[in-house]
Amino acid sequence: MAELQNILQWCEQTLKVAEFKDYAPNGLQIEGKAEIQKILCAVTASQQAIDATIAQQADLLLVHHGYFWKGEPYPITGMRGKRIKSLIQHDISLLAYHLPLDAHPVLGNNAAIAEILGLQNIEALDPTERNPIGNIGYLPQALGPEAFKDLLSEKLGFATIHLPAGKQTIQKVGFCTGAAQDFIDKAAAQNCDAYISGEVSERTYYEAQELNVHYYACGHHATERYGVQQLGKAICQQFGIEYSYFELNNPI
């Protein structure tokens, strides 16, 4: 058993939360019981994830995508109201970390992608950032564009979308998980052969051609299901409590 406040303090320090400007509050979003015996992790605080937390009798739901995003309406009603009501009624805390979890060099989503794909010599995608939320890595051996697409699909379990450019081989790869397709210009500025993110926009098709950077959309969910698992495991190792992961195979 661990104190909720001790978990919060450890996460705050480990993820350097205070150093990030984000689109939603990082940390405790809904407060439940003070003592934690079991954590359930999920990418997003959906109703399915909440229901799984209740069914598994977990005390804390740890997610990458929580609530209270900038631009959302203030009233807690409708779908979001139902979710929050479910958490409060069962005295379950909601803990969410967004950009700090993307950027962490060991526990983060980008770090996981680099490890899964075997990328080496990791650098910042934007060298001006104190805590880069995008990175560059190098394949041990150059691959053709289609061979790289096949590698991504196999390793990430997602039907990768490839928007082609003119380069015949790929070795220097920019990457940033989730909905970071517009960072393709940063990849071009760093002379990357390819750029990976989760989602894709109509405009990205033309940008890939005109910037001469192969673009690979590998799924928002598929690229961001790793960091929350790594963080959950690290918390449980630190505090000696139980951990489980809820996978909802979101096709986006």
* Residue 44 and residue 77 in one domain: yes
pLDDT tens across 64-86, in order? 999 999 999 999 999 999 999 99
The two structure tokens encoding residue 43: 């990418």
Rounded Cα distance between 33 and 47, Å, is: 20
Which segments within 45-100 are labelled E, that is strand?
Answer: 60-65, 93-96
Which amino acid does the sequence have at 219?
A: G
Q: How many CA atoms lie within 13 A of 44 on its CB side?
A: 15
pLDDT tens across 84-136, in order? 999 999 999 999 999 999 999 999 999 999 999 999 999 999 999 999 999 99
* Residue 114 and residue 219 in one domain: yes
218's torsion region: left (phi>0), alpha (psi -120 to 50) or beta?
Answer: alpha
In a domain, residue 104? The reply is no
* Residue 73 and residue 179 in one domain: no
Burial 102-139 (b: 16+ CB within 10 A, else e): bbbeebbbbbbbbeebebeebebbbeeeebbbbbbbbb
In a domain, residue 62? The reply is yes
* Residue 203 and residue 231 in one domain: no
pLDDT given at position 249: 85
**What average pLDDT does range 177-200 have in this prediction?**
98
pLDDT value at 164 more than 90:
yes
Residue 181 lies in domain: 109-223
